[in-house]
Amino acid sequence: MNPDIQARLERFKSTPIDGQILKKLVEAGLTWLRANQQTVNLLNVFPVPDGDTGTNMVLTMQSAYNEIDSLAHHNVGQMAAAVSQGALMGARGNSGVILSQLWRGFARALHNQEILDGPSLVRAFAEARDTAYKGVVRPVEGTILTVAKDSATAAQAALRDTNNPYEILARVVPAADASVERTPELLPVLKQAGVVDSGGKGLFFILEGMLRYVYGEPLDTPTATVRPLSAMNLENAMGDIEPGQDFEVVVDFSPTKELDLQKFYAELETMGTSIQIGEGEGMYRMHIHVPTENRNKPVDYIMSLGTITKIAMENLLAQMESINRKSAGNRIELPNLEPGQIGVVSVSPGSGISRVFASLGVAAIVEGGQTMNPSIKDILDAFENLPTDKIIILPNNKNIILAAQQAKNVTVKKVYIIPTRNIPQGLAAMMHLNPDGDVEAVVSKMVKSIEDVMAIEITTATRTVEIDGVSVEQGQVIALVNGKLALSTGSVEESCLGALKKVDTAGHELITLFYGEDFTAAEANRIVDVVRAAYPAQEVELQDGGQPHYQFIISVE
């Protein structure tokens, strides 16, 4: 071990972990996770533009830290309880919900405890593991759960040699790292995709960030990552604009020699935020948000590294004003809910889909879907003020079901979760809403209705991979049928027709195509005409869905 690090560890060994030290450790875990957020996001099994595990875990941890930021508690149990509460309310996606359960167990083991010593840290790791496993109906190994379990095991083993919590943490971090690297051996789909588990990797970064704080190592320089050009989520970056980010700069370039990614990141971090780097087609693409006075610095810097082929610079403030004006013009009118009626809360990824849900009678809409999973608090806020205690939630995404279930657990209202995993299932469920009916009967009909609907999603592959016998090249158009990768083709039209051939359309009457926000109405109408010609026995409808990332969401019912 580096002598300076060893000396710092020796100093920390005599510093009790009270509430304020725990706050510092939580902040360090958050900071290091955020620095490596894109690394976690890239660990996506399917080659679709929805790698959001890192984002979900960062937002969950940010909510946890926001809860404790101004607290002066020295009692470590009280501080841990506040961390747990913040994590729960801010939990997003399956990874965020499981992370919140880890914090819940951790806090439970430290109830009203003054300081965190070695034995209590070991108990907290064990209780965190147990609580997280209990919170998942069907625990799967090779995930964040496994990493939590292996971390608890390492903590218990370390206790045989030391009672010092910092030394125990120093044993846990490499064990967590090794556990992450083993996840593909436990979960075959990870091995197929050539990645480790993203949630487990996120948990490792949180623990490593805490240890880096103890060691005095930097927390703001990420492990350098480069993503495929097609996986650069520049649209989503617009949603994270912070004060002082006046311009968005995107530069395409070819370096004259091998790019030192770590140094490249470090230089860019002195200029701005929201940094993304993509590689493909023999060139690199750099994205950054900068204040006005720095708008030319990235260009000048990259010019010293190689040949620039394209520069794009946008005024973010002007863009945001335009987005806000558009949003105001797209407000959805929801039906009035009378006291005592059944209130349905639906998650929706696009304005057009939201309008359809509104026309079917939903009482509240939560914006969300791929890359933008809503938090437990978002879902809770949607129905807490509705004038009824009979609530039905339609998650409409497999990564939102856990958050909906946790929202159900923290309210006094009677809440029912319909396990809708996609938009077509949610729309099918809404066909059975009777606001004045018996809620149990309505729920039963909704659950039954989602069994028969078929969902097709058309998008662009973000990387080259082979999964379930389907070979995919980065940039090809792919189709998922009921969440499973079905085929890869050269065009949206081919993927639509190919996916429909894999569905039992003969047993269904209606095909509805919802086109995305980046797809033109003219091209959507052309493809619908082709589908109508291919399926004359079915009614074929076209709707403006407004969803991001997916050219089409297709419902067959």
Of the pLDDT bands very low, low, confident and very high (cuts 50, 70, 90), residue 274 is confident
Which is higher by pLDDT, 320 or 430? 430
Average pLDDT over residues 15-28: 95
Containing 336, the helix (H) or strand (E) segment is: none
Tokens of 34: 């955020």
My answer on whether 164 and 53 are in the same domain is yes
Q: What is the pLDDT of residue 138?
A: 87
Tokens of 59: 């937002």
Q: What is the pLDDT of residue 224?
A: 56
My answer on whether 429 and 536 are in the same domain is no
Could you give the strand order of the β-sheet that contains 273-280, starting from the edge strand earlier in sequence? Answer: 227-228, 273-280, 283-290, 247-255, 306-315
Asked whether residue 521 is assigned to any structural domain, the reply reads: yes
Residue 137 to residue 448: CA distance in whole angstroms:
20
Task: State the CATH number of the domain containing residue 391.
Answer: 3.40.50.510
Total count of residues recorded for the chain: 557
Query: Does the pLDDT of residue 20 top 50, yes or no?
Result: yes
Average pLDDT over residues 399-410: 93
My answer on whether 22 and 143 are in the same domain is yes
Residue 358 to residue 218: CA distance in whole angstroms:
49
Residue 24 to residue 15: CA distance in whole angstroms:
13
**Of the residues 323, 358, 375, the one at which a domain ends:** 323
Cβ count within 10 A of residue 171: 17
One-letter amino acid at 130 equals D
Task: State the CATH number of the domain containing residue 548.
Answer: 3.30.1180
My answer on whether 31 and 62 are in the same domain is yes
Q: What is the pLDDT of residue 193?
A: 85
Q: What is the pLDDT of residue 328?
A: 47
Residue 100 to residue 103: CA distance in whole angstroms:
5
Integer CA distances (angstroms), 342 to 286, 412, 497, in order: 49, 15, 38
Of the pLDDT bands very low, low, confident and very high (cuts 50, 70, 90), residue 239 is very low
Asked whether residue 276 is assigned to any structural domain, the reply reads: yes
Compute the 3-state secondary structure of the chain and give helix, strand, coil in percent, each to the nearest 5: 50, 20, 30
Query: Does the pLDDT of residue 326 top 70, yes or no?
Result: no
Q: What is the pLDDT of residue 48?
A: 74
Task: State the CATH number of the domain containing residue 314.
Answer: 3.30.70.260
Of the pLDDT bands very low, low, confident and very high (cuts 50, 70, 90), residue 240 is very low
Asked whether residue 221 is assigned to any structural domain, the reply reads: no
Residue 475 DSSP SS3: coil
pLDDT digits 0-9 by tens, 252-263 = 999 998 888 888
- Percent of the chain with pLDDT strictly greater than 70: 91
Query: Does the pLDDT of residue 237 top 50, yes or no?
Result: no
Asked whether residue 432 is assigned to any structural domain, the reply reads: yes
Q: What is the pLDDT of residue 464?
A: 85
My answer on whether 99 and 57 are in the same domain is yes
Range of the domain at 517: 454-556
Asked whether residue 186 is assigned to any structural domain, the reply reads: yes
**Of the residues 215, 238, 258, the one at which a domain ends:** 215
Query: Does the pLDDT of residue 245 top 90, yes or no?
Result: no
Q: What is the mean pLDDT of the chain?
A: 89
Per the CB < 8 A criterion, the answer to whether 516 and 545 are in contact is yes
My answer on whether 160 and 276 are in the same domain is no
**Of the residues 194, 215, 236, the one at which a domain ends:** 215
My answer on whether 350 and 290 are in the same domain is no
Q: How far is CA 434 from the centre of its chain?
A: 33
My answer on whether 172 and 136 are in the same domain is yes
Query: Does the pLDDT of residue 527 top 90, yes or no?
Result: yes
Cβ count within 10 A of residue 411: 14
My answer on whether 210 and 238 are in the same domain is no
My answer on whether 523 and 376 are in the same domain is no
My answer on whether 155 and 13 are in the same domain is yes
Of the pLDDT bands very low, low, confident and very high (cuts 50, 70, 90), residue 272 is confident
How many domains would you assign to the chain?
A: 4
Query: Does the pLDDT of residue 212 top 60, yes or no?
Result: yes
Average pLDDT over residues 279-288: 82
My answer on whether 178 and 75 are in the same domain is yes
Q: What is the pLDDT of residue 95?
A: 93
Asked whether residue 297 is assigned to any structural domain, the reply reads: yes
